[in-house]
């Protein structure tokens, strides 16, 4: 029996943030009923047709859910949603600001009607404040939170290549739901959970914000190098780049002695602490690359491993698909979709006694008749 088996989740969701949250619940056994609009459904269905016509984003975010089409502009659609919520444990939603409230399912409207319901809002900026009614998407929140200001090269900022604002808010939503379920077990009552994409990414920005608060400076963009720790990043060698990280002074000494072959540099006052190395990074990093220039990536990696310095490859997407560690740990499996089976990675929950449920990616409205029949048969 999976940990969340018997839990019913109603997900009035679209795009990435809320679907990522509810998919974690589905993987762990919850019955996630995804409410979609007639005709087009979740807008993520139309992002692309990368998997034999199935959207890459939709396939990633919606396995294991049941798709129910309801027209929430019609009285019978609203009545069906209310009946679903009556028997539900969790209500997750991320429609446009104010939409759930206009439908009559805001927190104040449902808290007494469904006292055990855990009500979960995922929005760009939260439910109050001057930005509450602004639309929000991942790239916009990367910009608003300052993440983009730290990402890229010194010459040009760049966004993060995956949907970090959506993912962060989805994971905070998932964790908060689990906490609220434990609390409900003690009190018998549900709760309101309010997840803001801006607040989720701003939390991840605390180290650079503390640097600004404490030292009056913002860490600079450093491309494939860390902007607060040196040496940490990708460094050129004879036939490409090697990524490695020196995290403390013990490792710095081993790096100088066993990798650079320059033990005297470990005690050079210009580089005797991370703060010193950060202040003099241009000279130090140029010296590292001079030392690596006649060595292959394989040789440098071997020296780093021997010295106990963490290192890694600068992989491409095809490299990750074929990553030997993922293969060795059996992380790849298959899930079914309306277009046939597709590969999928197991989620990283890794509960020993509860392997995840890797359910089917639903077609639009695939479970409408089934779920509505369940409602009619409810005592």
Active-site positions? Answer: 166
Q: What's the CA gap between 100 and 13, in Å, rounded?
A: 11
Task: Report how far residue 249's alpha carbon sits from residue 27's, in angstroms, rounded to the nearest whole number.
Answer: 42
Q: Half-sphere exposure of 117 toward its Cβ, with a 13 Å CA cutoff?
A: 26
Residues 153, 13: Cα–Cα separation, whole Å: 35
Give me the phi and psi of 291, to 5 degrees please.
Answer: -65, -35
> How many Cβ atoms sit within 10 Å of the Cβ of residue 247?
12
* Burial call 330-358: b when 16+ CB within 10 Å, e when fewer: eeeeebebeeeebebebbeeeeeebebbb
244 with 231: CB under 8 angstroms? yes
Distance, in Å, from the CA atom of 301 to the CA atom of 67, rounded to the nearest integer, reads 48
Closest CA to 167 of 192, 120, 200: 200
Contacts of 32 (CB under 8 A, 6+ apart): 9, 11, 22, 23, 25, 26, 64, 65, 66
- Nearest alpha-carbon partner for 102 in 133, 129, 80: 133
């Amino acid at each position: 029996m999976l940990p969340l088996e018997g839990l019913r989740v109603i997900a009035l969701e679209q795009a990435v943030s809320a679907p990522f949250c509810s998919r974690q619940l589905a993987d762990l056994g919850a019955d996630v009923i995804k409410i979609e609009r007639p005709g087009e459904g979740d807008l993520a269905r139309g992002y692309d047709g990368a998997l034999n016509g199935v959207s890459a984003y939709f396939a990633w975010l919606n396995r294991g859910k049941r798709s129910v089409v309801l027209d929430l502009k019609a009285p019978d659609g609203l009545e069906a949603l209310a009946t679903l919520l009556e028997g539900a444990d969790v209500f997750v939603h991320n429609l446009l600001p104010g939409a759930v409230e206009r439908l009559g399912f805001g927190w104040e409207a449902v808290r007494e009607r469904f006292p055990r319901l855990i009500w979960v809002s995922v929005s760009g900026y939260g439910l109050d404040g001057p930005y509450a009614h602004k639309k929000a998407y991942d790239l916009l929140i990367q910009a608003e939170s300052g993440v983009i200001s730290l990402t890229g090269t010194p010459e040009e900022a760049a966004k993060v290549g995956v949907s970090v604002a959506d993912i962060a808010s989805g994971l905070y939503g998932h964790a908060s739901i689990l906490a609220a379920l434990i609390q409900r077990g003690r009190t018998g009552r549900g709760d309101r959970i309010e997840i803001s994409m801006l607040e989720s990414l701003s939390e991840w920005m605390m180290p650079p914000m503390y640097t600004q608060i404490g030292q009056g400076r913002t860490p600079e963009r450093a491309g494939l190098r860390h902007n607060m720790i040196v040496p940490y990043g990708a460094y050129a060698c004879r036939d490409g780049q090697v990524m490695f990280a020196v995290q403390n002074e013990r490792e710095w000494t081993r790096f100088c002695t066993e990798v650079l072959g320059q033990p005297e540099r470990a005690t050079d006052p210009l580089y005797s602490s991370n703060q010193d190395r950060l202040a003099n990074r241009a000279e130090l990093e140029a010296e590292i690359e001079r030392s690596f220039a006649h060595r292959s990536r394989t040789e440098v990696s071997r020296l780093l491993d021997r010295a106990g310095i963490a290192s890694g490859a600068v992989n491409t997407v095809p490299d990750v698909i074929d990553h030997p560690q993922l293969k060795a740990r059996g992380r790849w499996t298959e899930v079914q979709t309306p277009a046939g089976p597709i590969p999928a990675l197991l989620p990283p929950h890794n509960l020993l006694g509860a392997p995840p449920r890797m359910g089917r990616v639903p077609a639009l409205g695939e479970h409408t008749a089934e779920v509505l029949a369940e409602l009619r048969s409810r005592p």
